[in-house]
Amino acid sequence: MSEEMLMEILRQMFYTTALLVLPILGVTLVIGIAVSIFQAVTNIQEQTLVFIPKILGVMLLLFFLLPWIFQVLSSLTLSFFDLMVLFSKT
């Protein structure tokens, strides 16, 4: 395995990780801010109130995004196999 191949694999892995994690982080950020605003308006200072909406939001998001996540991970795996074939010929 050459250094060039390793750098390409790492680049693709970091890009794919960011691509898959950003929607989940975005949903948790929006839900967290919404619950925080709700808590500030109603003076409810329950620390555990934010966890249930975040968990439900992430589970709902994963339910809808799971086919897309599977497709992205499958294409990444196929890309790795293509890179192995490409770099093994050189």
pLDDT at position 90 = 62
Is the pLDDT at 29 greater than 90, yes or no? yes
Give 2's pLDDT tier (boundaries 50, 70, 90): confident
- Residues sharing a CB contact under 8 Å with residue 80, sequence separation 6 or more, in sequence order: 9, 12
Which residue has tokens 């693709």?
Answer: 12
Residue 1 above 90 pLDDT?
A: no
Q: How far apart are CA 25 and CA 30, in angstroms?
A: 9
Q: What are the extents of the domains in the chain?
A: 3-89
